[in-house]
Structure 1
Amino acid sequence: MPENSDPLPLAEGDAARLQAWRAELDRLNLRLVALVQERARLVEEVARFKRARALPPFDPQREQEMLEQLLLQAGPGLAPDELARLLRIAMRFYRRVARGARG
């Protein structure tokens, strides 16, 4: 990405502030990816554990409880319905990860 990809020129101080925010967002994005990878590794371990013990691969009640608990953490600026949508997408992703680990 170019250093300043904004359509309008910004004052020097504003450009620096925007660049600092973008750098912080980039750092957070890297942390998010690392957390997704870490959680995927753990999901794979749990899936193998369950498979070895002939346990059901998924627990819908546990997923619902996790979702409800996480939604309680939604503070100002986090619309619960949007957060729920994002978390459901993540849960679907991790179910696919678990299926791959069981294969």
Structure 2
Amino acid sequence: MGSEDHDYEDQVKELIDLVMVMTDQNNDGVITFEEFSEYVHHDILCIELLGSVLPRDCIISSFLPLIKEKPPHAVSLYFAHERHNSLQEPTMPPRRDKLYPVRLELP
């Protein structure tokens, strides 16, 4: 990972921390719709910073069962795990020579 990638990653982490500090009023590690709504109504310019962050209803309805009725710390751990996985480099399947039947040779 280059220096520029590391700087970019740090900037993203700082932005996430800033949004969490400003939005998560009860410090449970989860931004509820009510907290988000109150934050945006308090300062409407914040919506420009956050952009379109609320998912569509169909996404919410498919996602909600994963976290519904779980304690806040379990939800926080779930999100931390998902964030960690999404920032990982993708793993490539092992190369099999049988998938490449043509052998190319340069003159």
TM-score, scaled relative to structure 1: 0.31
Higher helix share: 1
Whose relative contact order is higher, 1 or 2, with alpha carbons under 8 Å and at least 6 apart?
1
Say which one has the larger Rg: 2
TM-score, scaled relative to structure 2: 0.30
